Amino acid sequence: MADADLVVLGAGAAGLAAAHFAGEAARGEGLRILLLDGAKKPGAKILVSGGGRCNVTNERVTADDFFGGPPTIVRKVLRSFDERRTRAWMAELGVRLKLEPTGKYFPESDKARTVLDALLRGVESTGAILRTGARATGIERTGDEFAVALQDGSRIVARRLIVATGGLSLPKSGSDGWGLAAARRLGHTIRPTTPALSPLVLKPGRTLAGRFADFSGITIDARLALHGPTGKPLYAWTDSTLFTHFGLSGPTPLNMSRHLLQARADDPSGGWRVTFGHPDFPAPADAEEWLRREADRNGKRLVSSALSSIFPERLAQAYAGTDGRLAEMDRARRRELATAIAALEIDVVSDRGYSFAETTAGGVDLREIDVRTMESRVAPGLHLCGEMLDVDGRIGGFNFQWAWATGYLAGRGAARALAP
Ligand SMILES: Cc1cc2nc3c(=O)[nH]c(=O)nc-3n(C[C@H](O)[C@H](O)[C@H](O)COP(=O)(O)OP(=O)(O)OC[C@H]3O[C@@H](n4cnc5c(N)ncnc54)[C@H](O)[C@@H]3O)c2cc1C
């Protein structure tokens, strides 16, 4: 006889949602639901999320906010449990949310702990049992059941299994890709993984593009664009950008990272280029036109002074270089400066790796999942949810929305399949 009807592996955002909704769907049916986590204290990633405030969801969530698996499948998942459902669920759990001007929802307390505690209480209220310090080391199919081997040498047999062990981001939280390897062994295809929402490391040097460390601490709105071998921009994003001692951080570089890293993983010799530009000037010609107008208006003005109307002082000085009067700039210099303003080519050496990434791009192929219940088409009885799937969202609460939605579908789906 099985030790549990349902085992949920991983008590992060997706696993907590799965255990809660499984418990709710099975209320009164006497199902034994066990939630296991390898960490001594669950929810490490929830606690550090959103700068310790936990950006729970967004005002508007669409399939366009996600990358990886087919948008039609992502859309189906999001429709089953949308941002309104998340807000209603949080209210049921006693978490009051507030909407910020950026469209992000945070707990009114500004504390991620409020969200984690409410989730843990929610799971407990359904009768599901949480066991921490229970790291899984193997999953084996035994007939219709699953045997989960634990690090302490024990084994738990379950009639159904939900794996919600996360991807590879923030490995010190306990999410080190173990679940991806386990899913592969059970027959799943794993789409190539790279960090996503990771800061970008630039090559230092004496040129303008190499001097990022001089501007460390400055935050500006900037446009980053990824160009393919033909030079055409494949992806562009405009938002706030922070210069750091190693390169660039903040929403724009974080959102860009997965596109560059996945492109490089697909084709390392693809000639990928990244440009950094001021958001008011979509193309160098626009910046050139602006410089010309500024020169016509007041030719005696210093170039650095004109630039300080669009850049912080330190950047304006660096862009101006040796400086001089606007009227004295010849055509070649104006064109060169205009290109730097609108599309400065930057040399991205790497990202900062999984230790600094907020999520994982790539993962279990969505086409192998029945997204009505998140049940595996490859290993019936197994459900998968959260970051381990081949879907990653942009900054703004989208990754949690994915974790809640897929956790809901997996939990409810597994409980209904077990119902007598
Ligand atoms: C610094 C940071 C800030 C973030 N901020 C936000 C934000 O504000 N908004 C947002 O939407 N997203 C944010 N994210 C992303 C978000 O945290 C993740 O998308 C989400 O936590 C994924 O949930 P998950 O449950 O799939 O995986 P995880 O949260 O990684 O949970 C997986 C769980 O499984 C456990 N586990 C792993 N392996 C095993 C094993 N072998 N046996 C047993 N247990 C195991 C782990 O201990 C962990 O508890 C942030 C991420 C980081 C790193």
pLDDT of residue 114: 98
Ligand 1: distance of its center to the CA of 13 in Å? Answer: 6
pLDDT higher than 90, residue 242: yes
Ligand 1 atom with least separation from CA of 57:
11
Q: Are residues 122 and 261 in the same domain?
A: no
Residue 33 lies in a domain: yes
| CA dihedral for 304, 309, 312, 315, sign (positive or negative) | negative
CA quadruple 400, 406, 409, 411: dihedral sign: negative
Residues 321, 383, single domain; the answer is: no
Report CA(179)–ligand 1 centroid distance (Å). Answer: 12
Q: Indicate whether 248 pLDDT > 90.
A: yes
Q: How many residues does the chain have?
A: 420
| Nearest ligand 1 atom to alpha carbon 137 | 41
Cα 105 to ligand 1 centre (Å): 18
The answer on 383 and 328 residing in a single domain is: no
Helix ranges (H only) for 267-397 are 284-297, 303-307, 313-320, 331-343
The Cα angle at residue 223 between residues 217 and 228, in degrees rounded to 5: 125
Q: Is 68 left (phi over 0), alpha (psi -120 to 50) or beta?
A: left
pLDDT level of residue 1 (50, 70, 90 thresholds): confident
Please tell me whether residues 276 and 148 are part of one structural domain.
no
CA of residue 46 to ligand 1 center, whole Å: 7
CATH code of the domain in which 151 resides: 3.50.50.60
Q: Which H or E run includes 33? A: strand 33-36
- Residue 356 domain-assigned (yes or no): no
Nearest residue (by CA) to ligand 1, atom 51, is: 358
Q: What is the CA(40)–ligand 1 centre distance, in A?
A: 15
Q: Is residue 214 part of a domain?
A: yes
Among 399, 402, 404, say which to mutate for ligand 1: greatest number of ligand atoms within 8 Å of CB.
399
Q: Residues with Cβ < 8 Å from 115, sequence gap 6 or more?
A: 46, 54, 56, 90, 95, 107
Residues 267, 273, 278: CA angle, nearest 5 degrees:
150
125 and 247 part of one domain: no
Which one-letter DSSP state was computed for residue 358? S
Do the domain assignments include residue 372?
Answer: yes
Q: How confident is the model at residue 277 (pLDDT cuts 50, 70, 90)?
A: very high
Q: Of all protein residues, whose CA lies closest to atom 23 belonging to ligand 1?
A: 13
Same domain? For 16 and 145 the reply is: yes
**Among the three residues 307, 333, 351, which one is the final residue of a domain in this structure?**
351
- What pLDDT sits at residue 32? 96
Nearest ligand 1 atom to alpha carbon 402: 19
Token code pair at residue 161: 């299994």
Last residue of a domain, one of 326, 351, 376: 351
pLDDT of residue 344: 97
Tokens of 82: 């949308």
Q: Which of 8, 36, 49 to mutate to test the pocket of ligand 1 (most atoms within 8 A of CB)?
A: 49
Residue having the nearest C-alpha atom to atom 13 of ligand 1: 49
Query: Same domain for 216 and 301?
Result: yes
Give the residue from 319, 351, 383 where a domain finishes. 351
- d(C-alpha 242, C-alpha 212), whole Å: 10
List, chain by chain if needed, residues with CB within 6 Å of any ligand 1 atom.
9-15, 36-39, 42, 45, 48-50, 54-55, 135-136, 164-166, 169-170, 173-175, 178-179, 358-359, 386-387, 397-400, 403
pLDDT digits (tens, 9 = 90+) for 353-394: 999 999 999 999 999 999 999 999 999 999 999 999 999 999
β pairing state of 155-163 and 382-384 = parallel
C-beta separation of 372 from 413 below 8 A: yes
Tell me the per-residue pLDDT of 13-68, one tens digit each, with 9 for 90 and over.
Answer: 999 999 999 999 998 888 999 999 999 999 999 999 999 999 999 999 999 999 99
398 located within any domain: yes
**Which numbered atom of ligand 1 lies nearest the CA of 150?**
42
The answer on 414 and 369 residing in a single domain is: yes
Q: Identify the helix (H) or strand (E) that includes residue 170.
A: none
Residue 122 shares a structural domain with residue 10: yes
Mean pLDDT of 214-225: 97
Express each pLDDT in 312-341 by its tens digit.
Answer: 999 999 999 988 999 999 999 999 999 999
166/239 same-domain check: no
Distance of CA 152 from the midpoint of ligand 1 (Å): 23
- Residue nearest ligand 1's atom 22 by CA: 387
Q: What region, left, alpha or beta, does residue 404 occupy, with left being phi > 0 and alpha being psi -120 to 50 degrees?
A: alpha
Ligand 1 atom closest to the CA of 15, numbered from 1: 25
Residues 207 and 177 grouped into a single domain: no
189/242 same-domain check: no
The whole domain housing 42 covers: 4-195+361-418
Q: pLDDT (tens digit, 9 = 90+) per residue, 111-166?
A: 999 999 999 999 999 999 999 999 999 999 988 999 999 999 999 999 999 999 99
Total structural domains within the chain: 2
Decide if 276 is inside a domain: yes
